[in-house]
Amino acid sequence: MNLTSDSKVLIQGIMEPLGSVYAPLMRDYGTQIVAGVSAGQGGTSAFEIPVYDMVEQALEQVGKVDVSIIFASPYTALDVALEAIAAEIRQIIVITEGVPPLDTIRLIRKAEATETLIVGPNSPGIIVPGQILLGTHPPQFYTPGRVGIVSRSGTLTYEIAQELSHAGLGQSIAVSIGGDRILGSSFQQWLQILEEDEQTDVIVLVGEIGGDTEEVAAHYVAEVIDKPVVAYIAGQTAPRGQLMGHAGAIIASLAGMGADIGTAESKLAAFKRAKIPVADRPSQIPDLVKKAIGKK
């Protein structure tokens, strides 16, 4: 992945409520938004961005697009994403929350067949501080640097970025893979991307209780990743069986995986086995990052 201020960006659902709020914020940050798409609004403009009815029409006018950001409604998000894939856009960020799980599965299958990277659904997107904002991250919390953040959370990502920035530790990139149970891209994919990223020296992984995502990621780090990784697990003090706000952050037994999978204890044990230092609270992350840099 090579996201810079030169990357060309399309917004699908630019006339949706969230799209109309964040399109000008992304543009003002320096993101090169070349077109928007909203069915029935073709021929108009939004915030000096030309709007088209279809992705194909937009690309005929602006040429190749590197990334599409989707603000469409939950029940149209699949069709909108498939339209972007058909137009050979290979990096898609789904901001939309509440996409039906079966729709997400269909999207993932199509993405795998076409080598398309999907971020989300239910994600604030990606920010490369100082260069490009793709989604809803509040840019004032971020500063350019060498720390890569990959997270299941949204707002917690912002908080950790702010802690790092206050400690003089800028970020190379921050990505939230999304808060839903079924997601387009995984921790493993992003860990590999950050491992290969020349701008990233240290990786911060932000997980949550629920599911086995963090356990699998910890094993992957131990087996594959050479760069230092530090972690934080949200929800460590939540009572067992407590439903969290994110659809993905639910403590639940998974068939054949044991009743403890998904608990904070299970995730902490997995990180310990992988020799990944874990912060007890976000404010500890800068110190762990500095120690990791020192060891490197």
- Look up residue 15 and give its DSSP letter: T
Which of 137, 166, 219, 246 is labelled catalytic?
246
- Look up residue 239 and give its DSSP letter: P
The 32-37 sheet, strands edge to edge: 45-46, 49-52, 32-37, 8-12, 67-70, 91-94, 117-119
Q: Degrees (nearest 5) of the Cα angle 277, 281, 284? A: 60
Q: How far is CA 147 from the centre of its chain?
A: 15
**Catalytic annotation on 137?**
no
- Alpha-carbon distance of 194 to 244, in angstroms, equals 28
- Alpha-carbon distance of 34 to 152, in angstroms, equals 29
Is residue 270 helix, strand or coil?
Answer: helix
Give the residue numbers annotated as catalytic, written as ranges: 246
